[in-house]
Structure 1
């Protein structure tokens, strides 16, 4: 459960660029004391940390917009690849040589050609999924809800792995003497590298927000317990007898 908005960074005293209500000045020291005796798995430790070169909060937000661009780029190129493979199918009749030259399209082995179509279709589906989760990520980062970051983390990780395999297959089977094929290879090399880096930034921020939520839940639990104890003690005193059972001395206040 979430109580208000959270300040994501736990590695420096500057408040979040998105939150205005609280500061994380002493969060790192509190966290260190709370989990000092707990062994944290390596995959639950933030990989990227704030320093003079990296700002986790801004980097995560930029990654959200970057993944939005990647989704739109993937959708456009996937539709174009399917269209070109369909138009350049062996034995098909088409018109368009005066607009697009289909010489760069693979027309060799039928199984390889079908695999290219399958990669393009699944890339189209993946692009649509990333488009939706990227919008959800941007909203979640602005409101600092770490649970809404999870869909993007899973979908973008799977999408990046799939596109890496599709890129290798595309680079091997297509002739790299054509400008389009060369541009696609160079673009996807840059996109995959930036995607891995951006995913690590968002994952690190997600771990920081999750740790802060645990500390907040523990603090609210302690405050709730103390409030219950105080209410129980007050109720017990209010319902006590005016005199003791073994004494005639009255405990009622003197008017």
Structure 2
């Protein structure tokens, strides 16, 4: 009886055979990534950062946060100095480079609140400066676990500076150039900070998903190798041979 020749079947290529580089295209092309239900807070928020891609946008955000932390520390020290020099009832002698007319001199509790905001802004700026250095290193090596400290610290810092900016804008007089410039700058800084945080968080989710897929690929490869080794061992052990054994190759009549 004649049987037709069976054409070889083309199976679906393995997901793990595509995981050769850490890019988001691997996630979009994998069947397993689409079949897993992902919580809303773990979904990638952004894929592009205006004129940059997500990687360059993340590096730009890291450099921006580093500069912002340095700027915050300097302005916080300056605010604390001005508030201490312009305290009601204080007496000064000599000549001064700047005038302290723009400094708030009203209610004592409001002044104390401004000093507290400036003090915690300085401490927060130091923390963000350190975590920004860690972030730059993590982005170069694509090590997502070192991104986590920056995500927490910069989110808290941005929210705190938002409340401090609102309080500063309400209690200070907007007729002085310093107060106007600081308000305008912090409006821009907070907007860039919020968008930059989303960029870093999106990259963090992407790297985490790729790491998870790579771990699954390594687990599958290790499982297949162990199965192949056990199968080979069982086949070889079922028919033991010795140096004295002779196997006849002559046809049986």
How far apart, CA to CA, are the structure 2 residues paired with 1:206 and 1:253? 62
**Which of 189, 194, 197 is the aligned partner of 1:196?**
194
* Mapping of residues 1-255 of structure 1, within 5 Å: 7-11=21-25, 26-30=26-30, 33-50=31-48, 53-95=51-93, 97-240=95-238, 242=240
CA positional deviation for 1:45: 1.1
The 1:207/1:110 distance shift into structure 2, 3 A limit, reads: same
Structure 1, gaps ≥5 residues long: 12-25, 244-249
CA RMSD of aligned residues (A): 2.3
Aligned partners of 1:9 and 1:205 also within 8 Å: no
How far apart, CA to CA, are the structure 2 residues paired with 1:6 and 1:84? 57
Relative to the length of structure 2, the TM-score reads 0.84
Moved more, 118-127 or 36-45: 36-45
How far apart, CA to CA, are the structure 1 residues paired with 2:49 and 2:61? 18
Relative to the length of structure 1, the TM-score reads 0.83
Aligned partners of 1:130 and 1:152 also within 8 Å: yes
Aligned partners of 2:138 and 2:146 also within 8 Å: yes
Q: Secondary structure at the match of 1:155?
A: helix
Structure 2, gaps ≥5 residues long: 1-18
How far apart, CA to CA, are the structure 1 residues paired with 2:80 and 2:247? 90
CA positional deviation for 1:235: 2.9
